[in-house]
Amino acid sequence: MKTVIDRYIREEMFPHIWCPGCGNGIVLGAIIRAIDDLNWDRDKIVAVSGIGCSSRITGYVDFCTMNTVHGRALPFATGIKMANSDLKVIVIMGDGDCLAIGGNHFIHAARRNIDLTAIIINNMIYGMTGGQYSPLTPTTKFGSTAPYGNIDQSFDLCELAIAAGASYVARGTIFDPRQSTSLMKKALDKKGFSVVEIISDCPVSYGKMNKIKSPIDMLKWIKDITVSKKAWEGLSPDEKKEKYAIGEFLSKDRPDYTELYEEIIKKAQETGGNK
Amino acid sequence: MNNLKKKKNIKLLQGNEACAEGALLAGVKFFAGYPITPSTEIAENMARKLPKIGGKFIQMEDEIASMAAVIGASIAGLKSLTATSGPGMCLKQENLGFAIFNEIPCVVVNAQRGGPSTGLPTKPSQGDMMQARWGTHGDHPVIALAPSTVNEILTLTIKAFNFSEKYRTPVILLLDEVIAHMREKVEMPAPEDIEVINRKKPTVPPEEYLPFKPDEDGVPPMANFGEGYPYHITGLAHSEKGLPISDSQQIDHFIRRIHDKIQKNIKDILIYEKYLLEDADTALIAYGSVARAAERTVKLAREKGLKVGLLKLITIWPFPDEIINKLAHKVNLIIVPEMNLGQIVLEVERASQGKCRVVPYGRVDGELINPIEILGKIQEQEEIKK
């Protein structure tokens, strides 16, 4: 019997390239289930990714897919959406991809509020290149380029997205794929720029360097460092430093960029565009 | 009435404006860009004119994003354009390679200014000729055209779109600050007189479609995203199906094939003009705004009884090796005036295979090369010969 997942994957691409215990497969499953629940026309779905382990997801799903260059998935997706606003465009990125090399594109996509859904798999490290620290590696944690501990302050991706102007912002985990699926579903369905951060694991790099021994321990660790949004609000500032709030942070209605541009077209055509 | 209809439609246009007009005639529907001198007027024109025809304009956060958006829009079915100058052209290089490797049509304008670095933003240069050829990493083919008049900017912008659609490849249009900002008479062609080429679409059902399997002309048909042909595009080495591969034979075949599709059609792609070369013993080879000065030099030289002619290059890449080789067999001397310290002259030397003397004449001070100084170079060489 075929599962929901089977109906959407490119079988010839398997086995996948991910390490045992990697959370990317869980996220892939959640994305597929969310799309399936929404019952979208498959021919109108486009998935765009950048570079990194997480970005390989686009190779595994049978939509129009594009594995672009490092950090630039959002501007590629912006061009696609502008050219054909009927397309449902999903952008899948890793933490380094989205917020280091791609950080500028991320805030500008949010500022424009262009109708894209960004799913960021945050394993807090550069996995593909072997465990270098990323802008989402927590302070004091270790990476292959932070052998004495990370002194950088990490971004709060969700706060950044809200400040930059996104319409929908949520955070889930691979520990709770059902919640992640439901957050993704809401994000996909939202008009405007929607963001879902999924806290994931990288047992072979992050786990190894930070003494979290197995994939199971990593899942437990994710459970320990996350609390519901409501519980998070009751924490002291010091306690907050060690935890990630989980859930939906923002859902607001604001005209998306492609709708606004349609108005520009109308205006230009009415006035003859002299001004 | 009939007389009126036949009357030529003459306009006084700035070079950048002519580029925008040419793009519109070619069917451009999308522009993404970032302000930079001396190309900004192309963006401004596009911002004004594209929405009037239902097209889209977007000012992106940088040149990297502009190039990415142009590629995305092209994949989604719109003819797409971006325009920039040196510093911005540097930023576009990685994505340009992505477009070449994935055979995504688009046109990239580089209105050249003095470099390196911020250089001379308001002064002309031809310093990016080799960047146009080799700017993005790895072995890749490229088509680059260099107009020398405002009228040519218009016609070659149309040509650039046609080549990009026909051969599924980005095309670089190399302007320089002089012709980008100069105003000149342009003969506006009637839309019905223009050849407009659109990308080939697949003729097979989606389950049989291979996005990178070429037809006999070396070019694969292209399905736009959203047209019912789900497929994968990746910057990784990929199969005819578009999926990542590591098989060395397939990789070799793919990279050679994207080169071959240009080489195979080189006769169609090469554009050049010969001026008074029949009896010439000295040839000038020039392109862009310098070709204008060189043409004047030929006239001045002829007045002095010197047998000088001009080969004006319009297609710069792929390079017209054969044409230059034939010329080198005919003349004793080739002089290559260019606003750089010798870029195209190296290619001319290579193509000439030692059959005649090849002499560079370069300027990098931000000043346009004038006819008198080229004539001076010819006379200096005459003296050496004596």
Region at B224 (left for phi over 0; alpha for psi -120 to 50; beta for the rest): beta
- CB hemisphere CA count around B190 (13 angstroms): 6
Q: pLDDT tens digits for chain B (386 residues)?
A: 455 556 889 999 999 999 999 999 999 999 999 999 999 999 999 999 999 999 999 999 999 999 999 999 999 999 999 999 999 999 999 999 999 999 999 999 999 999 999 999 999 999 999 999 999 999 999 999 999 999 999 999 999 999 999 999 999 999 999 999 999 999 999 999 999 999 999 999 999 999 999 999 999 999 999 999 999 999 999 999 999 999 999 999 999 999 999 999 999 999 999 999 999 999 999 999 999 999 999 999 999 999 999 999 999 999 999 999 999 999 999 999 999 999 999 999 999 999 999 999 999 999 999 999 999 999 999 898 88
- Residue A54 phi/psi, 5-degree rounding, is -60, -35
Mark out the alpha helices in chain A (DSSP H runs): 24-38, 57-60, 73-83, 95-96, 103-112, 157-164, 177-189, 208-209, 215-225, 229-233, 237-241, 257-271
Residue type, A112: R
Which among B29, B232, B247 is the top mutation candidate for probing chain A, defined by the most A β-carbons within 10 Å of its own β-carbon?
A: B232
Q: A59: which chain B residues are within 8 Å (Cβ-Cβ)?
A: 232, 234, 243-244
Q: Round to whole Å and give the CA distance between B380 and B386.
A: 10
Buried b vs exposed e over B213-247: b needs ≥16 C-beta within 10 Å? bbeeebbbbbbbbbbebbbbbbbebbbbebbbbee
Residue A260 CB partners (closer than 8 Å, separation 6+): none
- CATH number, residue A67: 3.40.50.970
Helix (H, G, I), strand (E, B) or coil at B77: coil
Return the residue matching tokens 């994939």.
A215
Q: Which two tokens stand for residue A205?
A: 């790099």
Q: Round to whole Å and give the CA distance between B23 and B160.
A: 9
How does pLDDT run across B311-331, given as a tens digit for each residue? 999 999 999 999 999 999 999
Distance from CA of A66 to the nearest CA of B (A): 5
Distances (CA, A) of B317 to B154, B214, B291, B364: 19, 22, 17, 22
Which among B57, B61, B70 is the top mutation candidate for probing chain A, defined by the most A β-carbons within 10 Å of its own β-carbon?
A: B61
| Domain range for A252 | 5-271
Q: B70: which chain A residues are within 8 Å (Cβ-Cβ)?
A: 79
Q: Round to whole Å and give the CA distance between B355 and B332.
A: 8
Q: Round to whole Å and give the CA distance between B112 and B175.
A: 6
Q: Check: pTM over 0.95? Answer yes or no.
A: yes
Distance from CA of A113 to the nearest CA of B (A): 13
Q: What's the total number of domains in chain A?
A: 1
From the number of C-beta atoms within 10 Å of its C-beta (0-12, 13-18, 19+), residue A122 rates as buried
Test A104 with B61 for CB contact under 8 angstroms. yes
How does pLDDT run across B186-232, given as a tens digit for each residue? 999 999 999 999 999 999 999 999 999 999 999 999 999 999 999 99
Which among B225, B227, B233, B241 is the top mutation candidate for probing chain A, defined by the most A β-carbons within 10 Å of its own β-carbon?
A: B225
How does pLDDT run across A165-195, given as a tens digit for each residue? 999 999 999 999 999 999 999 999 999 999 9
Distance from CA of B141 to the nearest CA of A (A): 19
CA angle centred on A99, ends A96 and A105, rounded to 5°: 125
Q: Which two tokens stand for residue A271?
A: 């006035």
Q: Round to whole Å and give the CA distance between B385 and B235.
A: 53
- Residue A249 phi/psi, 5-degree rounding, is -105, -25
Q: Which two tokens stand for residue B283?
A: 């040839």
Nearest CB neighbour to A75, from listed B49, B54, B69: B69
Tell me which DSSP letter residue A143 carries: B
DSSP B238-271: B-TTS-B---HHHHHHHHHHHHHHHHTTHHHH--
Test B98 with A68 for CB contact under 8 angstroms. yes
Q: Which of B163, B119, B127 is nearest to B144 (CA)?
A: B163
Q: Which domains does chain B have, with CATH numbers?
A: 2-193 (3.40.50.970), 273-385 (3.40.50.920)
Mark out the alpha helices in chain B (DSSP H runs): 2-6, 15-26, 40-49, 63-75, 86-101, 129-134, 150-167, 177-181, 248-263, 266-269, 288-303, 321-330, 344-352, 371-385
